[in-house]
């Protein structure tokens, strides 16, 4: 396992190498290193400098946790913790300003540019992040490139008040901008996970904070799914023996039933990437099949599969909207198949050994389009797998306990799933590249997670 993790860290430097190659350890030698040279198993170090304004410090703590949860940095704790200010100037260095902390007004940004870089370099930091109050009610976050000895980027944001429901999301968005500034990659801080608990749909920030009830009726709910713009989601509810699909706006909390559904058992909704179409499963006396409906105009039910003697369910769009991966029982046990978005060209997607491989279910196409995550029955319990879309190689990702219903973060590297590894079923997050795992929600009974795309700023006023 250790060797595997080291290998993954090395490979993360090569943008053309996918994590699925990591089981083949010879790939490490073939890995092409571009730009920053990674030390095996060591991520770039980062210091988030202390701040002495209480309001800003609350934000700084959220920011630091987001950067830690990005699994892209080694977060370095300053000697003596956050309580001391690092003021001693190294010989020959410019006077330090402790990241501009305590400075206000227009001079704050200028002060932030002077930092004791050799000291932070000695602590192992490649990046230092300083949070300071800017002019007016703006906040300035400065990303220092310690190795280069200069400011990488200065980010300005107008933060809502601490008690404002949008405060946390604004900080999360700043964290994603810091990640973008430091490494040029998109983050997952400004995201939420929908999940089902006690028959209701809840939302929780990716850092485990701010859990909220979002489904408003007493009907038992299942299978939440996000629209690609992060402004809407869909889910299913049981209504007097039927399964109805609903569309709900994040900002207003308003919801409406999906046209043409509600007379049968409709479930597992999935938005097309352009948000115009909703694919779903419909169970009738003929079995379960895949349908699409035009949710832009509320019309035009279209049937994609005709199973009759087998079931087709759980659709998931490729990010280009051209293909749909789904579950089919056409070979007996449920397995993962793929077809064009219009229902043509249906074929096996995740290879399996007939009579030996267990049931495979709950596919979700990664946002980068390269992999499909799903879970498969291994010896009577479920484990999370990823399918490489190009090579069709299948890799098992989990082995401890029962693990199911994977959902991708927008960085296609983190994944939320349900696991009973701690003794009861709860939500966990895994970084597929480093293997680092953390609980998202330490409550029993949470399931069917759906990770949001990066959320737009207006999504902050979630009900």
Partner 1 sequence: MKRLPLLLLSSLAVAAMAACGGKKPEPVTPVAGPDADSLARAQRAHEDSMRAAQEEADRRAREEAERQRRIADSLAAIGKSTEAVRTLLATLIHFDYDKAIIRGGDAAVLDTKVAILQANPGLRIRISGHCDERGSDEYNLALGNRRATAAKQYVVSHGIDGSRIETVSYGEERPLASGHDEEAWAQNRRDEFEILSGGESLKQP
**Given the rule CB under 8 A, which residues bind partner 1?**
199, 220, 222-223, 238, 241-243, 265, 267-268, 281, 283-285, 287-288, 311, 313-314, 327, 329, 333-334, 359, 361-362, 375, 380, 382, 404-405, 447-448
CA distance 225 to 328: 20
Q: Are 170 and 460 in contact (CB under 8 A)?
A: yes
What is the secondary structure of 374-395 as a DSSP string? EEEEETTEEEEEEEETTT--EE
- Residue closer to partner 1 by CB (options 117, 202) is 202
- Residue closer to partner 1 by CB (options 12, 292) is 292
Strand partners, 158: 138
Radius of gyration of the chain from its Cα atoms, rounded to whole angstroms? 24
Residue 226 CB, shortest distance to partner 1, in Å, is 16
Going by C-beta distance under 8 Å and a sequence separation of 6 or more, which residues neighbour residue 53?
A: 102, 133
- Residue closer to partner 1 by CB (options 116, 328) is 328
- Residue closer to partner 1 by CB (options 240, 347) is 240
- Residue closer to partner 1 by CB (options 23, 424) is 424
Q: How many helices (H) and strands (E) does the chain have?
A: 6, 29
- Residue closer to partner 1 by CB (options 323, 375) is 375
Q: Are 405 and 448 in contact (CB under 8 A)?
A: yes
Q: Are 11 and 31 in contact (CB under 8 A)?
A: yes
Strand partners, 196: 201, 447
Pair type for strands 381-388 and 221-226: unpaired
Residue 418 CB, shortest distance to partner 1, in Å, is 9
Residue 235 CB, shortest distance to partner 1, in Å, is 12
Nearest C-alpha neighbor of 457 from the set 247, 206, 249, 167: 167
Residue 398 CB, shortest distance to partner 1, in Å, is 15
CA distance 383 to 360: 9
Structure tokens at 398: 């989990």
- Residue closer to partner 1 by CB (options 83, 240) is 240
Residue 318 CB, shortest distance to partner 1, in Å, is 20
Residue 329 CB, shortest distance to partner 1, in Å, is 8
Residue 411 CB, shortest distance to partner 1, in Å, is 25
């Amino acid at each position: 396992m250790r060797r595997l993790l080291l290998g993954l860290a090395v490979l993360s430097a090569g943008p053309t190498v996918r994590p699925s190659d990591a089981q083949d350890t010879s790939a490490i030698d073939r890995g092409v290193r571009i730009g920053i040279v990674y030390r095996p198993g060591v991520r770039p170090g980062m210091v988030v400098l202390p701040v002495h304004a209480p309001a800003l410090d609350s934000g700084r703590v959220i920011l630091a946790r987001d950067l830690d949860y990005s699994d892209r940095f080694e977060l370095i704790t300053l000697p003596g913790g956050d309580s001391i200010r690092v003021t001693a100037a190294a010989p020959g260095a410019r006077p330090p300003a402790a990241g501009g902390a305590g400075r206000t007004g227009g001079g704050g940004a200028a002060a932030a540019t002077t930092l004791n870089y050799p000291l932070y370099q000695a602590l192992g930091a490649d990046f230092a992040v300083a949070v300071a109050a800017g002019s007016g009610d703006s906040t300035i976050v400065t990303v220092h490139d310690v190795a280069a000895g200069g400011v990488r980027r200065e980010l300005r944001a107008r933060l809502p008040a601490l008690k404002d429901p949008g405060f946390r999301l604004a900080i999360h968005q700043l964290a994603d901008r810091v990640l973008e500034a430091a490494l040029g990659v998109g983050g997952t801080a400004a995201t939420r996970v929908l999940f089902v608990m006690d028959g209701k749909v809840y939302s929780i920030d990716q850092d485990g904070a701010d859990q909220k009830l979002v489904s408003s009726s007493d009907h038992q709910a299942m299978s939440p799914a996000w629209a690609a713009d992060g402004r809407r989601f869909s889910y299913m509810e049981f209504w007097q023996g039927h399964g109805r699909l609903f569309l709900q706006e994040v900002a207003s909390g308003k919801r409406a039933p999906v046209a043409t559904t509600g007379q049968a058992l409709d479930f597992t909704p999935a938005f097309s990437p352009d948000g115009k179409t909703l694919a779903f499963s419909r169970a009738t006396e003929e079995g379960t099949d895949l349908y699409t409906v035009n949710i832009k105009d509320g019309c035009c039910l279209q049937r994609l599969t005709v199973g009759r003697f087998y079931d087709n369910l759980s659709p998931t769009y490729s990010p280009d909207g051209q293909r749909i991966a789904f579950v089919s029982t056409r070979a007996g046990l449920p397995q993962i198949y793929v077809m064009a978005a219009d229902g043509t060209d249906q074929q096996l997607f995740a290879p399996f050994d007939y009579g030996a491989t267990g049931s495979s279910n709950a596919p979700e196409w990664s946002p980068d389009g390269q992999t499909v995550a799903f879970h498969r029955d291994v010896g009577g319990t479920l484990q999370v797998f990823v399918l490489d879309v190009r090579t069709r190689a299948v890799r098992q990702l989990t082995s401890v306990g029962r693990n199911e219903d994977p959902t991708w973060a927008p960085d296609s590297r983190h994944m939320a799933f349900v696991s009973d590894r701690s003794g009861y079923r709860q939500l966990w997050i895994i970084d597929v590249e480093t293997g680092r795992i953390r609980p998202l929600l330490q409550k029993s009974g949470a399931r069917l997670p759906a990770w949001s795309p990066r959320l737009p700023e207006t999504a902050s006023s979630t009900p």
